[in-house]
Chain A
Amino acid sequence: AQTVTQSQPEMSVQEAETVTLSCTYDTSESDYYLFWYKQPPSRQMILVIRQEAYKQQNATENRFSVNFQKAAKSFSLKISDSQLGDAAMYFCAYLSGGSNYKLTFGKGTLLTVNP
């Protein structure tokens, strides 16, 4: 079974600064997808960024980018120019590339943005 580990229960960053959230995963599969979800206090899970395992290029979405190290099974999220609205729980998630669409989530990292 796949596992996802987020080793940072909490992180904080100053507004306009950069922060990196860590995620490692364990799998024997070669075809899979990785996601970062944001969950604000409203509880709505919002997709931040996704990465296909077969792509070597790291995904980027505006201020959000990932560092995908397939051999090390590491998938970190970098948030640049942090904004107050970035404050939320961030979950790393793994999805098998097969027909099983089960998302496996980490325990999350609570990000605080200080003004």
Chain B
Amino acid sequence: EAGVVQSPRYKIIEKKQPVAFWCNPISGHNTLYWYRQNLGQGPELLIRYENEEAVDDSQLPKDRFSAERLKGVDSTLKIQPAELGDSAVYLCASTGVSNEQFFGPGTRLTVL
């Protein structure tokens, strides 16, 4: 069974530029999560999807962050414009019938 796939693995951009991250969850997993992990910290939830519906986006900074999961499968997280403080690892996770979350390898974003 393939795991959660994320791309790119690394991204370096200059501040004020846009950036997008892509996630493909495990096949059949209806719930998808985006987390942000700052250096030396645990992951923090940004948004949770149930199929194509965003059911918890309370921690998503909506002025510059957006996400979509149009067909209820893969998802894209976008930042526009990026700021220096957005440098972090962005993790995607998914769950199926159990509540165990399976994580992808993450995208390490560096904003210069």
Residues of A in contact with B (beta carbons under 8 Å apart): 4, 33, 37, 42-47, 50, 91, 93, 95, 100-103, 105-108
Contact = CB atoms under 8 A, between A and B. Distances in A.
B105 interface: yes
A12 to B, nearest CB: 18
A46 B106 CA distance: 12
Contacts of A101: 31, 33, 48, 95, 99, 101
Contacts of A42: 105
5 contacts: A37-B103, A43-B91, A44-B106, A46-B103, A101-B48
Contacts of A91: 42-43
Interface range on chain B: under 10, 10 to 19, 20 to 34, or 35 or more? 20 to 34
Given A45-B91, A101-B101, A108-B42, 14 more contacts: A4-B42, A43-B106, A43-B108, A91-B42, A93-B42, A95-B99, A101-B31, A101-B95, A102-B45, A102-B48, A102-B56, A103-B33, A107-B41, A108-B41
A105 B31 contact: no
Contacts of B108: 43
Interface in B74-112: 89, 91, 93, 95, 99-106, 108
Nearest to A91: B42
Given A43-B106, A44-B103, A50-B100, A103 B41 contact: no
A71 B77 CA distance: 40
Contacts of B89: 43
A46 B89 CA distance: 16
Contacts of B106: 43-44
A103 B105 contact: no
